[in-house]
Copies of this chain bind each other. A is one copy, B any other.
Amino acid sequence: MSALQHPWSTWRHVVKLDPDKEIGNDELIELGRSGTDAVLVGGTQGITYEKSFLLIKRLHQFAPDLCVWQEISDQHAVVQEVDGFAIPVVLNAGSAEWIIGRHIDALERFGSMVPWQRVVPEGYVILNPEAAAARLTGALCSLSPAKVIAYVMAAERILGMSTIYLEYSGIYGDPKLIRQVRQISGAHLVYGGGIDSVEKAVEMAEIVDTIVVGNAIYDKGIDLVRETVLAVRSLDL
């Protein structure tokens, strides 16, 4: 991927929508007008094909111009009608299963059908031990800064990954640590977790390539999306 442009290279602001959470049609229409670069459909708990398909179908219906990607956590929930697929590799998972085991099981069955040019593998480091994804994958989350750096280095230099996702899921991360990662990393860096204000969006967008606004929109509404998009855009002027 190093020689080609990263498929997410122009993404500065992304919204993550959870198929297991409710969102109204009016909000989807507003989301389509918000100016966010893409919607990533995915979650950890209660993810089924039906729920994923329904949300993606409604996105196409109510926000037809939005770029929609699915983040795959279960091979049975894969929905074809998206612009691309994000595939998490949980670098600090407690077992082989969540690093690469499930992927291999899926590839054994569907390997020849994967549209690789529309796939972005994400090297996840989950940093909030209370997050559902951390519990599910048995992630080792109590990591020193040096350890986080080592995970990122291993992902890029040993495995060869070109996208790193620092996931605080539900809590706001430490900008100092994210900055340290940025200094040693040449990957496309994604930050997610606890972005519930313009200030936090700006702070993280100044460091990483892409910020993800997620759960907070279910509390604060699509206003948060519109405001953080505007703030990130003015950063880049």
Which A residues contact B (CB, under 8 angstroms)? 1-3, 87, 89, 91, 93-96, 99-100, 103-105, 107-108, 111, 114, 116, 119, 121, 144, 146-147, 149-151, 153-154, 157-162
Contacts and interface: CB of A to CB of B under 8 A. Distances in A.
* Copies of this chain, whole number: 2
The 8 closest A-B pairs by CB, nearest first: A160-B160, A107-B150, A3-B3, A108-B150, A159-B159, A121-B158, A104-B150, A103-B154
Given A1-B160, A159-B121, A154 B104 contact: yes
A99 B96 CA distance: 7
**Majority secondary structure, A binding face:** helix
Looking at A93, A104, A116, A157, the one whose CB has the most chain B CB atoms below 10 A away is: A104
Nearest to A145: B108
Given A2-B3, A87-B158, A96-B99, 20 more contacts: A1-B160, A2-B2, A89-B158, A96-B96, A99-B99, A100-B154, A104-B147, A104-B150, A104-B154, A107-B154, A108-B146, A108-B150, A111-B149, A114-B157, A119-B157, A121-B159, A121-B160, A159-B161, A160-B160, A160-B162
A12 to B, nearest CB: 23
B160 A159 contact: yes
A147 B108 contact: yes
Contacts of A93: 96
Contacts of A3: 2-3
A202 to B, nearest CB: 30
A94 B99 CA distance: 11
A153 B151 CA distance: 22
A108 B151 CA distance: 8
A160 B116 CA distance: 12
Contacts of A149: 107-108, 111
A108 B145 CA distance: 9
Contacts of A116: 157
A1 to B, nearest CB: 7
Contacts of A107: 149-150, 153-154
A157 B160 CA distance: 10
Contacts of A105: 150
